[in-house]
Structure 1
Amino acid sequence: MIKQMLMKKVVLLNGLIALMLVGCSKSSDEAGGGAADDRTPIMLSLGTQQPGITVDGPRTRGAGAIGVPGADGTLGTWNGQKLKILAFRKNKISVEAADVEDIGAVGAWATTTTQAAVSGLAWENGATLYYPIQNAYDFYGYYIDDAMNGDPVITPDTEGADAIPGYVSIPVAIDGSQDLMVAKAELTDAQKAILDTYLDAGATDEEKEAMYARAYSSYTARRGVQPQMMFKHLLSRLTVGVKAGTSEIVSAGQDGVYITSLELTDVYNKGNMIVSVASQKLEPVESSKTDGTLSLGIIGDNVADLTIDGISFKGVKPTSTTDLVPIGESVMAMPGETSFNVAIKMRQVKDGKLLKTDEIPFESIVKAPAAKEMGEDGNPINIAKDENGNILKDNKGNILYRFLEGYTYYVKLTMNGLEDIEITASLTPWKDGGDIPVTPGEDE
């Protein structure tokens, strides 16, 4: 079965780890030539654009965004994240037994919760994984938290005149709380410089490329070149805060206007992570946008837990006209959209009484801002274009932009009352994306 074949390729890891692989033969080294008598360990080091994670309280949803600084400005720590590793023969995606059985299905579990780029590893059941020395390999990694939505499927390379590159498809379903990441081990400039020292002086570019093609193998490992992965985020991340537009709605005690939920509506909530030799990306499932919603979890120390008039609810209210109060955790959505529909629910307490029994709904739109980085055409890199390359505009003639993967957008809610909320959004690391002004009730 394809699933069984794939599992022979998968190494499960937990946390930020070092994958230790050693040569399984002592006699020859066909990946690069020379003896292999020393059984030199090989490390696979993993990282993110910003290593670290912050997790507050018990989890009822996904683990949240990886690589987010803590409240004190320092990076958080890895905390039991399960990473999956795929290893294929160099430049191949295959289900052939000769390819898939070279690296065994051995689980590895890290115990570290440090910020180190490489940390200790304990193999599952005390096993040892051996690196086959007769071939060079590509290493891929992915992190999907609890978003797995079916078995991964390998579509192998085809050969002949109409050859088609193969790929691995990993189905996912998200609710806004999962951070999806993917990586491929690539030689760094420093590693290339190391390999260059094993070539004759004046080596040609072709000779250098032939040397680089030996990575990753026993040959390159014994020369100090180990696979390194830098995971990239595949989703756009939105964090939300609220402040008062007027001092009239700032109330002491239990009185005030509370935001009790926030969702992105009509969004993709299913997709397929595609891993291939040429690229690693996320493709949405078109049908999932019909009724897809992504919710922002209202969790944290600033959340009120109230019972008013016999009705219990949690909510966040603005406390001043200047300071933003964070609303729960971030929500992560599939990139590429020019805007997101935002559905907010609120409750108002006045003189210790609920003004309405039911939650009060409010809807608005958050548009993507222009990115700070410019493309070769002189436009922001996220300017929206159609399939013919034409720049997209709204019905007022304003240029549209797209939300980008790996960017954080800080959505700022300014509450002037139950019927008037102004929304803007700005970018913060992961990568900084800019401001998004949105005024409720404005014609789109």
Structure 2
Amino acid sequence: MYISEKLADFIVKLDYEMIPNEVKQRAKELMLDALGTALAAKNESCVLNVTKAFESLSLNPSEKIWCEDKKLDVIYAAMVNAIAAHALDFDDTHTEAILHASAILAPLCLTYGFSVSKDGKKVLKAFIAGWEIAARVGIASKGSFHKRGFHTTAIAGIFGSVAASCVLLDLNKEQIINALGLAGSFASGVNEFLSNGSNSKVLHIANALKNGILVTNFAKANMSGPLSIFEGRDNIFRAFGLEDECDKNELYKGLSEIWQVMQVSLKPYPSCHFAHGLIDCAVSLRNDGLKAQDIVSIRCFVDEVPIAFICDPIEAKYAPKSAYAAKFSMPFLMALAFFDGKITLKSYEDLNRADLIEFAKKISYEKKKSSGFPKYFPGHLEAILSDGKIIKKDIPINKGNFDNPLSFEELKSKFLSNATASLSLTKAEELVEKVQNLEKLGDFHF
């Protein structure tokens, strides 16, 4: 049996009533977090610019986007919501898969999903199914998509988008197999955005959402796709990854037993998730009562994949030129955490603080494999003090990871803080209740 057949069998047989309650609750929490991050991005230039582009393309502007009172064609509206959900790098991550799927799946399900189905249970099931498939593609790749220069969320994300859309559109098993096969030809997204902090990364999210919907509609109309998309001569792991490093058993291991939404980490800091363990280390140094003048240098120990995102080229990371670039700068983020004790969306308003830049230049890195990565995004460092003493910090599990999670109250506080960038506190609190009762809804408008 081909792997696509096994995955299709799982999707078509997925019964909402048999999904554990804690899985449904966690799915709602991930949706709420994605919604909040999108609402906080109301004034981001990429959100404003892409909205303008879609306004000129929309022929039937019937669906209001989340962060302002404008309507677009429903798929375009979902794409804007997806871009907004990822624009601030404050959305969740499946750390082992190195995947930001909620930014794709929450807008797909809540915006497009309720336009084709008035069943909140089906929408919630679609979100869960999407995460199950997308995460497994990412896990199976073992980080090798990134090693090849591709964005895992862009490659794995379309398979999650397809799985969710197959649930929403009630595809049969044969059609789902075709949809998964076709998805491989619509996967795309390279990491060159790292060179200048450009907008292509957020477009990867929107592209995965849109292409997943298109592919699923093609399959519903009985367009065929390759059965062997996961194991054939030109399968996705050979095309986008390093096939010898991949483990394709991860694609179906533990289906209906290990639920991927339970393995997703929420971000306490609005930055690249790879840096979070090191941010935790910097906060710990601050909590020790150390001052900047007490520290001569800091040597960080970083896994191979994160280096390309948050460390290289290190000289450019010391004084990032934009808020977006700052979110991918390990030394700058650590300096923020050390001086301010926290990182918020307002932390990036002044990138020219001399204290931060001077401290950031004390920070260097060494490539070193950690036992926890990529299940965890740990932090390990050695700080040399002015008196010659060496202090070590080891954060094996970053705050917000599913094994060191944010409480629901912490998540709710993050949501309300984000959502009130676009809504009143009363409206934001109403949204919490709405998402918490999603299975009872027949639409999702606010």
Calculate the TM-score normalised by the size of structure 2: 0.28
More strand by share: 1
Report 1 or 2 for greater relative contact order, CA contacts < 8 Å, sequence distance ≥ 6.
2
Larger radius of gyration: 1
